[in-house]
């Protein structure tokens, strides 16, 4: 029994692989920009970025978020972090709610 892989399948695989490589490169460009602007090491920014909603949106093929470019994606990430910090500060100020 011999297997043949269609040229169409190979081209689709290469296209998917190329897309994933491009998104990974874009993510690294975003991480570099965040690191530079915040004066932080990229290895510290990497796990935080990958755990963010911004990264989830970037890696979602259907979102087309990558069209925004690295600077806009980095800005979106910083806005997300600011919202989360604001929410955390608001929760810290109010403290636990008394159930009485």
Question: Is the four-CA dihedral 81, 32, 21, 75 of positive or negative sign?
Answer: positive
Where would I find the H helices in 1-100?
7-38, 42-50, 53-59, 70-94
Q: Where in the chain are the domains?
A: 9-91
Q: Cα(38)–Cα(63) distance, rounded to whole angstroms? A: 27
| pLDDT tens-digit map of 42-56 | 999 999 999 999 999
pTM of the model: 0.77
pLDDT by residue for the chain (100 residues), tens only, comes to 556 667 777 777 778 888 899 999 999 999 999 999 999 999 999 999 999 999 999 999 899 999 999 999 999 999 999 999 999 888 776 666 655 4
CA distance 78 to 70: 12
Look at residues 34, 38, 41 and name the one whose alpha carbon lies nearest to residue 76: 34
Buried b (16+ CB within 10 A) or exposed e, 83-94: eeeeeeeeeeee
């Amino acid at each position: 029994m011999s297997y043949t892989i269609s040229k169409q399948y190979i081209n689709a695989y290469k296209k998917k692989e190329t897309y994933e490589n491009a998104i990974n490169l874009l993510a690294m460009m975003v991480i570099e920009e965040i690191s530079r602007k915040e004066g932080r090491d990229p290895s510290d920014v990497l796990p935080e970025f990958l755990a963010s909603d911004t990264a989830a949106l970037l890696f979602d093929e259907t979102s087309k978020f990558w069209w925004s470019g690295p600077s806009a994606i980095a800005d979106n990430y910083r806005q997300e972090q600011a919202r989360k910090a604001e929410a955390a500060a608001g929760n810290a100020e109010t403290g636990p709610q008394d159930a009485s």
